[in-house]
Structure formats: structure tokens, C-alpha cells
Amino acid sequence: MEFSLIDRIRQRTAQGRDDVCLGIGDDAALLAVPAGQELVVAIDTMVEGVHFPRGTSAADIGWKALAVNLSDLAAMGATPAWALLALTLPNAEPAFIDDLATGFAELAQLYRLALVGGDTTRGALTLSVAAHGFVPPGKALMRSSAQLGDAIFVTGTLGDAAAGLALVQQGGHEDACSTYLIDRLNRPTPRVAAGLALRGHAHACIDVSDGLLADLGHICAASELGAEMDVSLLPRSSALLDLFDDTTSRHFALSGGDDYELCFTVPTQHVAIVQADLARLGCGATRIGRMVNGQGVRVRDEHGQWLEPQHHGWDHFGA
């Protein structure tokens, strides 16, 4: 049964690449890293009931398992190439596997990403994906490179996924705004093209997975600087603002996470170039603050007063 499941996954995720010398079917994959490129590797695990709600469709689970890893590659400015998938299942249901592999393949095909191996086992529904990509030497974006005076930007809009989760937990809704927010939760868009465009312009970058405050805080800690931002500048979608009041939508945008947008810092002389490039890509970029001397992230309200957010973001082992 295990090998038939692997065959089903292989059939639905097949993607030809010249740099895959040996893919699924042996003890390990054999891959050729292109000359003049560094290998970027990221891995994320998703557990049912923790990273996606119970009842999420198999196709959406497959999409998201890959998307969260591609988002990590995007934050490094890397071009996706290969992935490994470790899949733990409570039951070997062919229809579930087919749908999961289809959702995974839908996203993989957009980036010519090849699934080159993995593992299957029995247990609570869990997926671990390791994604691999390439970046020219010295061009990777890192958390530790922000500089004093850099402008802080985020792509897209924030808070949508957290709002989508709240709607799912409330039983969901059928209107267009609810559908949009739940789709943002289940099928995030990895900002790969934006990450590539930021190479050579941005100093530091991170994807917003655990919440803006938490993730921008990681840039601050790694770069040994502080950050100041204005809550009134946070980009929020019309769907979010239509369904939730200002206080709730602001909380989602600051601390919700799971949007997989990019948060990055840019020297002032590159701001116009970055804004134009990301506008052409369709995701846009909003300036929300600046890097300063100090530690941590400070948030200013509409009246110029400093806020004290009660929740900064997701922590797997938090109280």
C-alpha cells in the first residue's frame, strides 16, 4: 500500500528538470546544483489542528504545505527548484492522497519545482516539506543585514489569514469577503517574484508567518537594531475591513501571522525602485516604519502614542 501511495503522488507531481539526475524511486535523490549558485534549503512541518484547521480540504493542505516553504525561499531571494515531502497519515485513503498531491502540484508547476523524494508513514496527519532553491553567491537576503535608517516595508496586505481562521472557527460564511479571507488562509501566495526583485535593493527580509510584530522582531534581534512603525500605515484588505472592526483588524495585522507576505528593509535611496518593481509584480509594497537604534519593535497609534500590544505572534511553545 505504501508504494502505491508513493506512485500516486509521483504521477500527480511529475515535473521534468535537467538538474534532477535521479528523483523519486531510489534510496535518495541525486541532484545537480548549477555552477555559480548557492543552495538555499528550508523545511517546515504542518500538523492538523495546529497549522491548518481540521476539515481543511486535501488540495488546500497540499498547496499550503509547499507554499509556506516557498515563502521561506522567497524571503531569502531564492529561485525554487526541488522539494522533499514527508507525509504522515492516519489512514491510506487514495482519494485524499490524489487531492493532496494535486494541490501540491498546482503550486509546484507555477515554479517548475520538482518533488524529488520523501517518506510516508502512519500517524496523526502531518506534512513536512523541505524546499531547495538557488541564489547567486553573496545575493541572499538575510534577517541580520538591516541598517540604521532603513525604511520598513511589507508586501500585500496583513491580517487576512488570521481573519480567515476566525471565520472558519465561527463556522464560516458564504459571502465574497469571507471566501476571500478563508482562501488567504488556505492558499497563501508565496512572494517568490518579489523576493527575486528585492535582491540588490533590500538589506534584510523575512516572511510574515508568525505575525508581523514577532517576525519584524526577528530582524531587529538579528540586526541588533530597533524598529518603529505606525499602525495607521498597516496595509489591510477591503475584505478584512468590511467584516471586522478597526481594533480587531489591527490586531490581526500586527499579530495574526500566516499571511506569508514579506517584511523587508530598504535604504532610502532604493525606496522608489523597490516600490515601482513590486507594483509591476502586482503585490505592491507598503512603507510602515523605519529601523532605529534600540531593541525590539515599537508601534505608534494614530495619535502618536506608543501602543503596548498584548500579543506579538505565534509561539509553538508559548504559554
Q: How confident is the model at residue 5 (pLDDT cuts 50, 70, 90)?
A: low
pLDDT digits (tens, 9 = 90+) for 94-149: 888 899 999 999 999 999 999 999 888 899 999 999 999 999 999 999 999 999 99
Residue 319 has what pLDDT?
40
What average pLDDT does the segment 236-257 reach?
Answer: 95
Domains observed in the chain? 2-135 (3.30.1330.10), 143-300 (3.90.650.10)
What is the number of other CB atoms lying within 10 angstroms of the CB of residue 210?
20
Q: Report how far apart, in Å, the C-alpha atoms of 126 and of each of 14, 44, 50, 114 are.
A: 22, 11, 10, 21
**Cross-strand pairs, 140:** none
CA distance linking residue 99 with residue 116, whole number of Å: 19
Q: Which three cell numbers stand for residue 225?
A: 537594531
39/6: higher pLDDT: 39
pLDDT digits (tens, 9 = 90+) for 17-62: 889 888 888 889 999 999 999 999 999 999 988 888 888 999 999 9
Q: Which residue, 30, 62, 31, is CA-closest to 46?
A: 62
Q: Which three cell numbers stand for residue 173?
A: 460564511
Q: Which three cell numbers stand for residue 10?
A: 509521483
The answer, as to whether pTM is greater than 0.75, is yes
In the Cβ-directed half-sphere of 245, how many Cα atoms lie within 13 Å? 2
Sort strands 79-89 and 114-122 into parallel, antiparallel or unpaired: parallel
Contact by Cβ (8 Å): 186, 258: no
- Is the pLDDT at 317 greater than 70? The verdict is no
pLDDT-wise least confident of 172-186, 206-220, 278-292:
172-186
Residue 306 has what pLDDT?
87
- Is the pLDDT at 258 greater than 90? The verdict is yes
Q: Calculate what percentage of the chain has a pLDDT beyond 90.
A: 76
Residue 134 has what pLDDT?
98
Q: Calculate what percentage of the chain has a pLDDT beyond 70.
A: 92
